[in-house]
């Protein structure tokens, strides 16, 4: 981010800010909060309201924090599972909820990809600056996301026993064998809760998918809203490119995607920003709202769980 600001900043750039647009930054903050709210609503709904609102918010914020400080390919799902166990759910049930939530995200991706492909006929969704290698990488990413969505849907909705078998096989490894009995019991719970989710009416899946979709739409809208808070830009094209780059974020290997995400923002959104000196400012404001605030608030939620674990350990002793 510092590099982007260094290469794009020009003295006096702040004098070109339009005061009537700046309230858009407040809207961006509201959208960021709504993303968290919809994610918490999804977790609470999937737990069949066993988790209260505060517990659901803590789980999501801890999930966000872990995602922000670990490689994007790992994500915060393990932390979310752990957090739900600290909120009183069984490990198997927590795992099933996380898997179901991830599946809903994958269904969203599976719908978003055809939208991008069709939109690409009318708009330059993938900027030409990305080159042939970049286009091939995006195509490979789309293929991998669709394949993963199909595999996860099979495991969660069609054959939960397959997930149980995989988990048991992993914990038969010598280094993990001492946990096998405990994990085997939780794997049974996971399968049982997955079967319960399968029996839910279609309206249940639809409502959960609505929460997941709204959370992702907030995430997609945020870069566009930040840019429009500074200067005019093609709204539809910016939103489509934001969707494309959010998919690309999923495979950036650095903690929280740092470095790669800023680069993708410059590649996808930079050409749409007419004043190049505003590119660095846009990146800075967007990452503050979408990333660094999540780290600070998420750290508080994660620390709450750590303190709770310490207290529980002391009580046992």
DSSP 272-309: G-SSTHHHHHHHHHHHIIIIIHHHHHHHHHHHHHHHHH
Between 16 and 279, the more confident residue is 279
What CA–CA distance (Å, rounded) separates 88 from 312?
Answer: 13
3-state helix, strand, coil in the chain (%, to 5): 80, 0, 20
pTM of the model: 0.85
Provide the sign of the torsion angle of the four alpha carbons 53, 56, 62, 63, taken in this order: negative
CA distances from 36 to 30, 43, 78, 313 (A): 10, 11, 18, 30
pLDDT computed for residue 317 by the predictor: 63
pLDDT computed for residue 74 by the predictor: 62
What CA–CA distance (Å, rounded) separates 69 from 62?
Answer: 11
Work out how many domains the chain is built from and give that number.
1
> In the predicted model, what is the mean pLDDT of residues 133-141?
73
Is pLDDT above 70 for 235? yes
> In the predicted model, what is the mean pLDDT of residues 286-303?
90
pLDDT computed for residue 117 by the predictor: 85
> In the predicted model, what is the mean pLDDT of residues 163-184?
74
Query: What average pLDDT does the chain have?
Result: 83
Between 169 and 305, the more confident residue is 305
What CA–CA distance (Å, rounded) separates 292 from 88?
Answer: 29
pLDDT computed for residue 180 by the predictor: 72
Is pLDDT above 90 for 227? yes
pLDDT computed for residue 92 by the predictor: 76
> In the predicted model, what is the mean pLDDT of residues 290-294?
89
For the chain, percent of residues with pLDDT exceeding 70 = 93
pLDDT computed for residue 18 by the predictor: 76
pLDDT range class, residue 28, cuts 50, 70, 90: very high
Between 154 and 49, the more confident residue is 49
| Helix (H), strand (E) at residue 221 | helix 202-228
> In the predicted model, what is the mean pLDDT of residues 85-91?
86
pLDDT computed for residue 34 by the predictor: 96
Tell me which DSSP letter residue 255 carries: B
pLDDT computed for residue 258 by the predictor: 78
Cβ(291)–Cβ(68) below 8 Å: yes
pLDDT range class, residue 131, cuts 50, 70, 90: low
pLDDT range class, residue 150, cuts 50, 70, 90: confident
What CA–CA distance (Å, rounded) separates 95 from 160?
Answer: 12
**Domain of residue 194, residue span:** 2-316
pLDDT computed for residue 288 by the predictor: 92
Of 12-21, 77-86, 109-118, 234-243, the least confident:
12-21
pLDDT range class, residue 53, cuts 50, 70, 90: very high
- Burial degree of 114 (CB within 10 A; 0-12, 13-18, 19+): exposed
pLDDT computed for residue 40 by the predictor: 95
Which residues lie below 8 Å from residue 250, measured CB to CB, with a gap of 6+?
A: 72, 73, 141, 145
- The region, left, alpha or beta by phi > 0 then psi within -120 to 50, assigned to residue 282 is alpha
For residue 5 the two structure tokens come to 């600001």
For residue 232 the two structure tokens come to 């005019």
- Burial degree of 242 (CB within 10 A; 0-12, 13-18, 19+): buried
Tell me which DSSP letter residue 123 carries: S
pLDDT range class, residue 68, cuts 50, 70, 90: confident
Give the best-scoring range by mean pLDDT among 108-117, 138-147, 164-173, 190-199: 108-117
pLDDT computed for residue 219 by the predictor: 94
Rounded to the nearest 5 degrees, what angle is found at the Cα of 92, between the Cα atoms of 87 and 95? 75
């Amino acid at each position: 981010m510092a590099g982007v600001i260094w290469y794009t900043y020009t003295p006096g750039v702040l004098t070109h800010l339009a005061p009537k647009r700046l309230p858009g930054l407040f809207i961006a903050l509201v959208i960021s909060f709504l993303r968290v709210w919809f994610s918490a609503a999804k977790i609470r709904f999937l737990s069949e309201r066993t988790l209260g609102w505060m517990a659901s918010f803590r789980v999501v914020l801890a999930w966000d924090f872990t995602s922000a400080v670990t490689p994007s390919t790992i994500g915060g799902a393990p932390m979310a599972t752990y957090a739900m166990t600290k909120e009183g759910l069984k490990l198997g049930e927590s795992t099933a909820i996380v898997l179901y939530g991830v599946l809903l995200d994958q269904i969203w991706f599976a719908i978003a990809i055809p939208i991008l492909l069709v939109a690409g006929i009318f708009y330059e969704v993938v900027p030409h600056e990305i080159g042939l290698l970049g286009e091939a990488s995006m195509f490979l990413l789309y293929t991998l996301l669709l394949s993963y969505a199909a595999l996860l849907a099979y495991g969660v909705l069609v054959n939960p026993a397959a997930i149980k078998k995989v988990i048991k096989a992993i914990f038969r490894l010598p280094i993990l064998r001492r946990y096998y009995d405990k994990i085997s019991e939780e794997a049974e719970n996971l399968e049982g809760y997955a079967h319960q989710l399968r029996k839910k009416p279609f309206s249940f899946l639809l409502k959960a998918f609505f929460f997941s979709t709204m959370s992702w739409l907030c995430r997609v809208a945020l870069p566009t809203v930040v840019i429009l808070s500074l200067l005019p830009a093609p709204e539809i094209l910016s939103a489509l490119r934001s969707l494309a780059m959010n998919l690309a974020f999923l495979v950036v290997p650095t903690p929280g995607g740092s470095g790669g995400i800023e680069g993708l923002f410059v590649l996808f959104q930079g050409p749409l920003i007419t004043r190049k000196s505003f590119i660095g400012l846009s990146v800075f404001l967007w990452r503050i709202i979408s990333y660094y605030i999540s780290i600070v608030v998420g750290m508080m939620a994660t620390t709450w769980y750590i303190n709770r674990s310490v207290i529980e350990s002391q009580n046992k002793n």
